[in-house]
Structure 1
Amino acid sequence: MIRFIASRIGFAALVLLLLSGFVFTLFFVAPGDPARLVAGERATEAQVAMVRENLGLDRPVIEQYFSFLGRSLTGDLGFSYRNQQPVIQLIQNRMPATISLCIGAVIMWLCLGIPIGIMSARYPGSLRDRVGQGFILIGISFPSFVLGMAALYFLYFLPRQAGLTLFPPGGYKPFLANPAQWAWHMLLPWFTLALTSAAIYARLTRGQMLEVLGEDYIRTARAKGLSERKVIYKHGVRSIFTPLTTQLGADIAALLGGALVTEQVFGLQGIGSLAVQSVQTQDRPVIIGVVMLAGFFIVVANLVVDFLYLLLDPRVRV
């Protein structure tokens, strides 16, 4: 088990090191003047010279890289000359909206997808199964931006015309200021981001459950006289946690792309919208900071998923 943990931590560190090298090469070694790109087109020569000195671009490339790596490890992701703020401060201001969106969406799609998949597997071919498969088909067929626009139209615009206010049009409210307002403003973004993944998890759960329910140990449990509820939830469901955890680790990376679209649709000032604005304005330090931070969280999240295997699959411990 110790060897497994050590190997996973070492692999995660290697991935982060390779990511930092790729980002450094892309933005500082590629053709062009990095100082001019960082400072902006309107910067004077004196400002460009100051940026070049601050970034150490007059030093050897290998020394520049280790300086860049050292600053990243200490949380110094650079300075945005267009916003006149440190990059880490810009990201910290936007992070609560993105974290709220992603965590809420993950909880929602797990609470929707897994029960629907279990229900479909328990009653194959029945009306419940057809309803569950209909949910899967609808959820997989619609991209996030279509779901977001449809949710705004049917749940905000039409009720608003009738004099009702079911949901707000968008925007982020801080959790600590008013938890009820925070949840009310996040419900539609959560639903938009979670529906497609909920459908995927429902399909995966259904397929895994149908396979598990045909195993010999399930028939043995039924032959011993255990209730169907215990057979399903004590023996069947436990067996599907490992593939679901694997899928969750893979979906965390895709979650950032969906969050970017959802933030744009609902006007959430999160990291995704910050990345879009930075690309539009060519704010290189912010782009670098967002890429590095996103890569860090993806690696850490997958590392946590690997550690969960130790709890879910005893074979990993040996």
Structure 2
Amino acid sequence: MLKYLTRRMLGAVVILILISAFTFFLFFAIPQDPAMLSCGRNCTEGNLKVIREAMGLDQSIPMQYWEFMKGIVAGRDFNVGHCDAPCFGISFDDERMIWDTIMDRLPLTVSLTLGGLVIFLTIGIGLGMVAARTKGTMIDKTVSSTSLVFSSMQIYFLGPIVLGLLVYNTGLLAAPKYVPISEDAIGWATGLVIPWFVMSLIFTANYTRMARSTMIEQLQEDHVRAAKAKGMSGKYVFFRYAWRGSLIPIVTILGVDLGSLLSGGVVTEFTFSLAGLGRLAVESVQDKDLPLTMGVMLVSAAFILACNIVVDALYAFIDPRVRLS
């Protein structure tokens, strides 16, 4: 297991380096001087020269990339002060440390992701198990039909409808906003309840359908039938054998969804006017802010790779037949 995880982490580092190189060199294909973004309206050649020297833009592109990667490991010195590792540089737009900006936006994205995850994972798997145990009944047909309807919807469609019904027309709930949980736990929950609700409607449908199909498949396995033939109760067989075997495909899609949500749910954050990593990524591209784009890109990619590694490691714990090599 340790060798496998070490190999996967080394591979993840290589992937992150390739992503950083591709993003960095692609940025300089844009026909615009990055120093102009910080120079302001009354810009002169003298001011541009000073800005280029302060940002390191007077160096060759490969040297700029080397300094950027070195800063992630060992930190860098700028005219506004020292940037501790991991240092993604200073924003071209507001000359703020990129790492500080990312850390300001990250708590909202994590809160949005984990809160929604708990809800849609619990309800989705629960409804899928109920539908599988009652296969062919009215309960199964109702759950399956409802899941099919909601899985066909998108957040940018369902979100405004829920906002119109619960916020703007009836005033039952307040408009979504983020309050740090350390300041006000109740305000934190109430401010994100609508995004959690909308995310849950869509993601729950996917997990319900997946849990139902995999559970029905597991109930037909030979070892499950053998357990029933030995006189074990249906409830015991269901939870001891069938439920555990159905977790692998669920964990697989969970790893993909979790990595994507942690890297910044762009559509979700724009739909509910929330400023997390997803919105920050779009803003950095619009402002042509290379250090900020690089920082968000690498943090997002690291989340996705980490989730994939954890999912692969969980396979061996869920199913003893799986061997990591």
Deviation at 1:167, TM superposition (A): 1.7
Distance of 1:177 and 1:72 partners within structure 2: 31
Higher normalized helix content (fraction of residues): 1
Cα 1:88/1:204, change in 2 over 3 Å: same
- For the residue of structure 2 that corresponds to 1:185, the secondary structure is helix
Of 224-233 and 119-128, deviating more is 224-233
TM-score, length-scaled by structure 2 = 0.88
Which residue of structure 2 aligns with residue 17 of structure 1? Answer: 17
Which residue of structure 2 aligns with residue 2 of structure 1? Answer: 2
Higher relative contact order (CA 8 A, sep 6+): 1
Give 1:250's match in structure 2, choosing from 221, 246, 256: 256
Deviation at 1:205, TM superposition (A): 1.1
Deviation at 1:53, TM superposition (A): 2.2
Give 2:276's match in structure 1, choosing from 270, 275, 286: 270
Distance of 1:40 and 1:106 partners within structure 2: 43
Deviation at 1:264, TM superposition (A): 1.8
Distance of 1:20 and 1:80 partners within structure 2: 16
Whether 1:32 aligns to 2:31 is: yes
What residue ranges of structure 1 are gaps of 5+ in the alignment? Answer: 161-165
Cα 1:237/1:38, change in 2 over 3 Å: farther
Of 138-147 and 251-260, deviating more is 251-260
- For the residue of structure 2 that corresponds to 1:311, the secondary structure is helix
Which residue of structure 2 aligns with residue 146 of structure 1? Answer: 157
TM-score, length-scaled by structure 1 = 0.89
Whether 1:230 aligns to 2:236 is: yes
Which residue of structure 2 aligns with residue 105 of structure 1? Answer: 116
- 1:140-179 equivalences under 5 Å are 140-160=151-171, 166-179=172-185
Deviation at 1:139, TM superposition (A): 1.6
- For the residue of structure 2 that corresponds to 1:125, the secondary structure is coil
Deviation at 1:134, TM superposition (A): 1.9
Of 265-274 and 42-51, deviating more is 42-51
Which residue of structure 1 aligns with residue 93 of structure 2? Answer: 82
Say if 1:91 and 1:290, in contact at 8 Å, map to a contact too: yes
Residues 288-313 of structure 1: CA deviation (Å, up to 9, x unaligned)? 22112211221122222222223223
Which residue of structure 2 aligns with residue 63 of structure 1? Answer: 63
Residues 257-310 of structure 1: CA deviation (Å, up to 9, x unaligned)? 872222222222212222333333333332222112211221122222222223
What residue ranges of structure 2 are gaps of 5+ in the alignment? Answer: 74-84
Of 217-226 and 56-65, deviating more is 56-65
Distance of 2:7 and 2:210 partners within structure 1: 29
Whether 1:116 aligns to 2:123 is: no
Which residue of structure 2 aligns with residue 204 of structure 1? Answer: 210
The percent identity for this pair of structures is 34
Distance of 1:259 and 1:84 partners within structure 2: 26
Which residue of structure 2 aligns with residue 316 of structure 1? Answer: 323
